[in-house]
Chain A
Amino acid sequence: MGALMVIFSLQPKQRRKPTDSVEDELELSAVRHRPEGLGQLEAQTRFSRKELQILYRGFKNECPSGIVNEETFKDIYAQFFPQGDASTYAHFLFNAFDTDHNGSVSFEDFVMGLSILLRGTIQEKLKWAFNLYDINKDGYITKEEMLDIMKAIYDMMGKCTYPVLKEETPRQHVEVFFQKMDKNKDGVVTIDEFIDCCQNDENIMRSMHLFENVL
């Protein structure tokens, strides 16, 4: 473990990737990204040293180059949901994790995201979820955005479901969602409406605590 600490602290530099995705592919194979030091990450996230080590070991094993690009993300997610098509949802998820929008998820992004999801307060988790739904990150969730997200989630179920998935099921689900969330009926959901509504809903509150012991 001491060696790991030494290695981690010896590599303070990060390399930023250009936003061009083609060059990304080329550079991915050539350049290796090293994360910030273990101490820094420990300060920035709510994980302990040991947890960060475990996380990094898994991450590095899968992505020796140190970063994940969207294709890999989609592949990984597809393996968890083989019956359906997880690529759209993985795309939205990727955008949610890629906080600096440089087209790739580094270990820091990954761990920050996980820290919020697993160890964050309810507010933070809800804010993260809102960020996920808000595709264009303008602060409002419109019905179209929600429909996209809903379709992506339903896509993951695949075709063989019971009861059989109908075309209007995602749309109906969106209607239900908006009915619940959109208090002032202006057709969009703002972050405050969202957080308020979720905090009043017992089911959602309970389920937010669900994955706290994942790591």
Chain B
Amino acid sequence: MAAGVAAWLPFARAAAIGWMPVAGAPMPAPPRDKRKGQDGLLLLNVSGTRFQTWRTTLERYPDTLLGSSEKDFFFHEESREYFFDRDPDIFRHILNFYRTGKLHYPRQECISAYDEELAFFGIIPEIIGDCCYEEYKDRRRENAERLQDDEEMDGEGGGGGGGGDGPPVKLTAREYLWRAFENPHTSTLALVFYYVTGFFIAVSVMANVVETVPCGAPAGRADKEEVSCGDRYALAFFCLDTACVMIFTVEYLLRLAAAPSRYKFAKSVMSVIDVVAIMPYYIGLVMTDNDQVSGAFVTLRVFRVFRIFKFSRHSAGLRILGYTLKSCASELGFLLFSLTMAIIIFATVMFYAEKGSAASKFTSIPAAFWYTIVTMTTLGYGDMVPKTIVGKVFGSICSLSGVLVIALPVPVIVSNFSRIYHQSQRAEKRRAQRRSGSGENSARYMRSKQNGLPIDSLEEEAGQALVGKSASPPFESQHHHLLHCLEKTTNHEFVDEQTFQANCMEISVIKRSGSRTSSPSSSPSPPRGLGSCCSRRHRKKNGFGLPSANNQELSTIRIPERPVANSRSSLNAKLDETMPLKCDEAFGGPRMVSLAAPPPTSPEGDASSAAAPAYSRSNIVRVSAL
């Protein structure tokens, strides 16, 4: 309610007359109101839409474009109005901020357009009211994710498609190789290699499959026993396997050599799959035809099927599926957990229900697990069926509940998959677009966008500096004058938390040393120029303290520049302050005084404490973060 504070300030100042008879000391002079009678209507023309408001409405927030003299840059002499070539729909919300003190976020606006307008007019988005803050944050996060994805895609595709644009980068052979591996579209050789490996993966997998097909009895064997093709044409299959493994090994070693970070590459999933795919062959080579280990060796051959996972480098869909499963890990975990619970419950029930019946297949609870799983997933093989009535009842309950339990987490997984899939499709399309020739434009545009950002921030800084140097907002100076009057009335001064703590400590120290025990009196005592070294140091230390970053809106910091020997209270190991204070300095503008709004953070406070030393005329410069 900063607008409210400004509106009530005249009242608060007038009410200060109530302190006057009580005050013992003379009051400080009020700040000169430099702009009397300048309240008038301002015409703001935003791309043709005219807005009008009072000048004082805009001046409530002097650290924004409209509230400061920065708007004079946009003043159009001929039509005597301020012209802004910006979006009028969003401007409406910005102007409402000045009027009501609350910034709202319109749902139908694009988040980046809105952010740009806010940045242009110098309004920080953190002051968006509670009503719209959630929505704003959500949209912002969504946008950031999308941008991040785009950047990643850019990083991958930019290397491929943007080669024509920027200065030609000389790649080492290693980098060239790595790029060829990651983006097969970069050169013909890479493409050829890509397809060859794909082909061999397929061949290897097919060979593994065909190996096990029964091929008919070999000629010359008397017992007419069917053997698998793998045994019949063992040599052929062995040669095929060798060839495939050769190719895979070479590919793996090349990738390992070309990887920018070998350790990271070795840790990645794809490389693990590669290793697992070729290991069985080498282990088989190393091991002799020993009977004990041959069983284990046969098991190892199973791992050859992992070669099929190598296809994921070739298929985006497979990658997306894997990524979806990874991102839905919690839902899958929940599914598993609830299924396990249900299985155990039902298996127990079925076991005890079928215990009575003769020749029951439900010999133990773990045996009943199989029945429960088959029933819950609605498979119903029929190899185990309950025979008792009770068993049948519980069996039907089991199958009904199975449907429910499984159906619940599935939509979450589906929606995740769909979102990721669409995203990747969009990226693919854009990559295709870029490759087809609009790459130049988009890259240049990207670069200009990046260049634009520093300029924007520079503008803001310049704007802040501008405000810093201009005259203080009258509202601020008047408020400080009011506080100063209160100080004079009570003969006490505001200090910030740190100084206060330090004072308390010093007081206790002094009391203990027994040097001074007189209580503070409200009448001025004779000056004591006792500056003990520790107090001076203490003073200096607290001189440039930052405003306290808690929710207290007002924290005053004292920066003593020229101590005057006019101490007030005798409990004064400190240096004396009390001199005509002039509260006419500028700093980072008014903050949201409302206690509910999120407080602005200290970057503005830093700017203010930096600006303060510039005003060396005042002996104590009060820097307040109002």
Contacts and interface: CB of A to CB of B under 8 A. Distances in A.
Interface string B1-19: 1011111111111111111
Nearest to A78: B595
Contact of A166 (B7, B9, B485, B520): B520
A190 to B, nearest CB: 14
A213 B503 CA distance: 38
Given A160-B495, A207-B20, A62 B14 contact: no
Contact of B482 (A80, A82, A161, A206): A80
Interface stretch (A3-11, A18-26, A31-39, A125-133): A125-133
Interface string A105-139: 00000100110011000000110110011000000
Interface string A152-178: 011011111111111011001100110
Contacts of A110: 11
B492 A161 contact: yes
A49 to B, nearest CB: 13
A158 B19 CA distance: 16
B25 interface: yes
Counting chain B residues whose Cβ lies within 8 A of the other chain, the interface size class is 35 or more
Nearest to B556: A83
Given A83-B554, A164-B503, A176 B522 contact: yes
Contact of A162 (B25, B499, B594): B499
B24 A206 contact: no
B581 interface: no
B493 interface: yes
B152 interface: no
Contacts of A159: 500
A114 B522 contact: no
B569 interface: yes
Contacts of B504: 164
B27 A81 contact: no
B77 interface: no
A213 B482 contact: no
B486 A153 contact: yes
B23 interface: yes
Given A166-B520, A207-B27, A125 B3 contact: no
Nearest to B3: A61
A128 B19 CA distance: 11
A49 B9 CA distance: 20
Contacts of B571: 163
Interface in A189-215: 194, 198, 203-204, 206-208, 210-211, 213-215
Interface in A76-94: 76-77, 79-83, 93
Nearest to B519: A166
Contacts of B479: 80
B235 interface: no
Q: Which of B15, B494, B520 has the most CB of A within 10 A?
A: B15
Interface string A37-69: 000000000000000001101110110000000
Contact of A211 (B3, B13, B39): B13
A162 B503 contact: yes
A208 B20 contact: yes
B497 interface: yes
Interface residues of A, number: 61
Contacts of A164: 500, 503-504, 507, 520
Contact of A161 (B9, B12, B493): B493
A54 B40 CA distance: 11
Given A58-B8, A158-B494, A81 B486 contact: yes
Q: Which of A54, A80, A93, A113 has the most CB of B within 10 A?
A: A80
A96 interface: yes
B30 interface: yes
A37 B13 CA distance: 26
B299 interface: no
A200 to B, nearest CB: 12
Contacts of B7: 58-59, 61-62
B18 A62 contact: no
A129 B33 CA distance: 25
B407 interface: no
Nearest to B498: A160
A213 B30 contact: yes
Contacts of A207: 20, 23, 26-27, 485
B553 interface: yes
A77 B21 CA distance: 20
A157 B487 CA distance: 8
Given A62-B4, A76-B4, A215 B492 contact: no
A96 B19 CA distance: 13
Contacts of B522: 169, 172-173, 176
Contacts of A168: 519
Interface string B548-566: 0000111000000000000
Interface string B489-511: 11011111101100110010000
30 contacts: A54-B39, A58-B10, A59-B7, A62-B3, A76-B4, A79-B553, A80-B9, A80-B482, A80-B483, A82-B552, A82-B553, A114-B10, A118-B10, A126-B21, A128-B18, A129-B17, A150-B22, A154-B492, A156-B486, A157-B487, A159-B500, A160-B499, A162-B492, A162-B493, A163-B571, A168-B519, A172-B522, A207-B23, A207-B27, A210-B20
Interface of B: 1, 3-27, 30, 33, 36, 39, 54, 478-479, 482-483, 485-487, 489-490, 492-497, 499-500, 503-504, 507, 519-522, 552-554, 568-569, 571, 574, 577, 593-594
Given A58-B6, A62-B3, A158-B494, 11 more contacts: A79-B1, A79-B5, A82-B593, A153-B486, A157-B494, A162-B495, A162-B500, A176-B24, A208-B17, A211-B13, A211-B30
The 7 A-B residue pairs whose C-beta atoms are closest, nearest first, are: A58-B7, A160-B500, A117-B14, A207-B27, A161-B492, A162-B495, A163-B520
